[in-house]
Structure 1
Amino acid sequence: MLVLTRKPNQSIQIGDDIELTILSVEGDQVKIGINAPRQIEIHRKEIYLAIQEENHQAASEVSIDSLKGLSLQIRKK
């Protein structure tokens, strides 16, 4: 893990098109601004993990038989 120290209004550049800017530090909270292309999804970690868990559960609910049936329908078209 790379650890960097920044002050308010200072930035960190990630690659060519992602910039993190420290907006303010108040007590134990840090406000960060993120400038990135629209196609890049940005989530808080706990939201990202919840999305991953939902996707995993949804995928495990699909049976092999339903996938075979879907495959047959696609081939008929």
Structure 2
Amino acid sequence: MLVLSRRVGEQIVIGEDIVLTVVEVRNDTVRLGIAAPRSVTVNRAEVRRAVEEANREASAADDAAVAALRALTAPRDTPAG
């Protein structure tokens, strides 16, 4: 891990197109501005962990849920006409 000291208004450049700017330092809180292309996903770590956990829970279907889904997609008998 690289650890840098920066003052308000100073920046850190990552790669060619990501810029972190120290916007404000107050008590034990640092506010950062992040300039990055729209193709780069930027999330707080706790948000990312919560989304990953929710995805894991959603993908863990029990047998009853699987049976209910199969019943919804089962082909129906249609009378020949």
Q: Could you state the TM-score of these two structures normalised by the residue count of structure 2?
A: 0.70
Q: Which amino acid aligns with 1:11?
A: Q
Instruction: Say which structure is richer in helix.
Output: 1
* 1:1-37 superposed Cα distances (whole Å, 9 cap, x missing partner): 1101100100111111111000111111111000001
Matches within 5 A, 1:33-48: 33-48=33-48
Runs of at least 5 residues in structure 2 that lack an aligned partner in the other structure: 71-81
Q: Which has the larger radius of gyration?
A: 2
Q: Which amino acid aligns with 1:57?
A: E
Sequence identity of aligned pairs in percent?
39
SS in 1 for 2:24: strand
> What is the aligned-residue RMSD (CA, Å)?
2.0
Tell me which residue corresponds to 1:61.
61
Q: Could you state the TM-score of these two structures normalised by the residue count of structure 1?
A: 0.73
For 1:16 and 1:55, locate their aligned partners in 2 and report how far apart those are by CA, in whole Å.
32
Alignment size in residue pairs: 66
